[in-house]
A and B are shown apart, each in its own frame.
Chain A
Amino acid sequence: GAVVSQHPSWVICKSGTSVKIECRSLDFQATTMFWYRQFPKQSLMLMATSNEGSKATYEQGVEKDKFLINHASLTLSTLTVTSAHPEDSSFYICSARSGQGMDTQYFGPGTRLTVL
């Protein structure tokens, strides 16, 4: 099946710094990528939808200036958490749509962010 990778798998950073998370589709071209966050024992929450070559569409309540998304190619999307604070500590997951078949999405393994 299709493979989506994320890097890094975990990161610890100091408050105020910025962190970039990469999401790559390894064996297919992803026309659309989605970014989610998940707090402990809670379900996934969609943050934004990213289409290659265009601006991301953010869900209500998600600050676009804080969570910068870039989808520069059909195989790579990045999420940058700017000026991170402890409340940004969470599990961030991306998924990618292959564009083949109805609503097929493949999930990355996730990135655990801890902000001290």
Chain B
Amino acid sequence: KNEVEQSPQNLTAQEGEFITINCSYSVGISALHWLQQHPGGGIVSLFMLSSGKKKHGRLIATINIQEKHSSLHITASHPRDSAVYICALGAAGNKLTFGGGTRVLVKP
């Protein structure tokens, strides 16, 4: 069993819809990261969480340490949000363990 599981693997939404991506993990962590990878390959760090909830623009990330679960929400989705979203676990030594990613396509 992988240490970190993301769901869904693929997601298609219409512009304006609310999107939720889930991340479950099975190990102790120091922080959980949400990353965005665009088709060109570049990666942007969206959030780093160790507890609670963070918001940046239309993006919201939450984490429940007890349940070992995190969610990334995109409100009022837009075609430019189309990307792969990756959950990554941060542990000792700052090594990251990556989830398989969720491929999001937002149609106009």
CA distance A74 to B39 in the complex (A): 30
Which chain B residues numbered 11 to 47 have a C-beta less than 8 Å away from chain A? Answer: 30-31, 33, 35, 40-45
Q: Which 10 pairs show the lowest CB-CB distances between chains A and B?
A: A107-B43, A109-B42, A103-B90, A110-B41, A43-B98, A103-B31, A44-B98, A103-B94, A43-B100, A97-B94
Contact B31 A107 (CB under 8 A): no
A49 partner residues in chain B, CB cutoff 8 A: 93-95
Chain B 78-108 per-residue mask, 1 if CB under 8 angstroms from chain A, else 0: 0000000010001001111011110000000
Chain A 32-56 per-residue mask, 1 if CB under 8 angstroms from chain B, else 0: 1010001000011010010000000
- Chain B residue nearest to A92 (CB atoms) is B41
Contact A91 B98 (CB under 8 A): no
Question: Which residues of A line the B interface, CB within 8 A?
Answer: 32, 34, 38, 43-44, 46, 49, 91, 93, 95, 97, 102-110, 112
CA distance A47 to B23 in the complex (A): 23
Contact A105:B96 (CB < 8 A) given known A43-B86, A43-B101: yes
Contact A102:B50 (CB < 8 A) given known A110-B42, A112-B41: yes
- Chain B residue nearest to A111 (CB atoms) is B41
CA distance A93 to B41 in the complex (A): 9
Which of under 10, 10 to 19, 20 to 34, or 35 or more describes the interface residues of B? 20 to 34
Contact A104 B48 (CB under 8 A): yes
Contact A109 B41 (CB under 8 A): yes
B17 to chain A, nearest CB (A): 24
A63 to chain B, nearest CB (A): 19
B41 partner residues in chain A, CB cutoff 8 A: 38, 91, 93, 109-110, 112
B86 partner residues in chain A, CB cutoff 8 A: 43-44
Candidate in A43, A44, A106, A109 with the most chain B CB atoms within 10 angstroms? A43
- Chain B residue nearest to A2 (CB atoms) is B45
- Chain B residue nearest to A99 (CB atoms) is B94
B96 partner residues in chain A, CB cutoff 8 A: 34, 44, 46, 95, 105
Candidate in A44, A91, A103, A108 with the most chain B CB atoms within 10 angstroms? A103
